[in-house]
Chain A
Amino acid sequence: MMRKYVAALACGTLFGLGLAISQMALPSKVLGFLDVAGNWDPSLLLVLGGAVAVTALAFRFVLRLPKPIFDTSFEEPSRGRIDARLLGGASLFGIGWGLGGYCPGPGIVSLARFAPDAYVFVITFLVGSFAFRIAQRRRSFVRARVGTSSENALA
């Protein structure tokens, strides 16, 4: 039981180190990649490329294990369709990313360099996340009370 907690801390640290070393914790580097019309900096491509090279190669072997080493079962990866939620969500995320140059990982890591923009990002990230949860709860509440349009059509 304890060992999986140590693993979480250790892997988080390794991940954070990787983010910091890659300089992706600096928004100016990220925005330099997204700024294709300006002084383009392809560094982010190498970061993502390097990371995906490792995961694409190794995931298939890891997933052949009967169970993870310190736990009982593998997490179900998020499934779903390629639908409006996916496209809408990803697009909104991209806009936010292009505005501040932060996504969740770099935001957290940058707390360690006492960057004011990182603190602003993390707080507003949580506010935005919370807003989604509220909206989702309202939607299922309304659905349960009023029913979906197809249910009403049958009535």
Chain B
Amino acid sequence: MNHFTPLSALAGGLLIGIATVLYLALTGRYAGLSGILRSAAFGDPDRTMDALFTGGLVLGGVLWFTLAPHPAFAPAATDLWIVALGGLLVGFGTALGNGCTSGHGVCGLGRLSVRSLVAVLSFMGTGIATVFVTRHLLGLA
């Protein structure tokens, strides 16, 4: 299942970039999804914008998964309790580090931010290390 899919990867990536640029140009806001999701859920000031953006994310998924001949039902890559632990760490870590793959990756690198580059290298590094441990040392997946 891990075969390289360059065309869909590039097409999706370009679309993500365009959406991010449009969002900044039209509303002046950065599409950093961890912050947007938190704000929408916890009722931060200006949550309306974030709630609408989040709703849009779901809508985008609905459009693709219903229209495209794509296996919508893919089994989880790891056991649900591992996913749960992952979610806790992503929630805490993105709050502490102030961003995720869209915030630091797409927006931060787009702004040529050294701080975001450091963040991206950090989470890529620990992400790779974690998968190495779980798959090749512990044999969990």
Contacts and interface: CB of A to CB of B under 8 A. Distances in A.
B123 A90 contact: yes
B6 interface: yes
B64 A100 contact: no
Contacts of B17: 18, 50-55, 58
Contacts of A133: 42, 95
Contact size class for A?
35 or more
Contacts of B68: 20-21
B92 A128 contact: yes
A4 B24 CA distance: 11
Interface of A: 3-5, 7-29, 31-32, 34-56, 58-59, 62-63, 65, 67-75, 77-82, 85-105, 107-117, 120-133
18 contacts: A7-B26, A9-B53, A11-B23, A15-B53, A26-B74, A47-B9, A52-B106, A54-B110, A86-B115, A96-B91, A97-B86, A98-B126, A102-B83, A103-B33, A103-B101, A103-B102, A121-B84, A129-B42
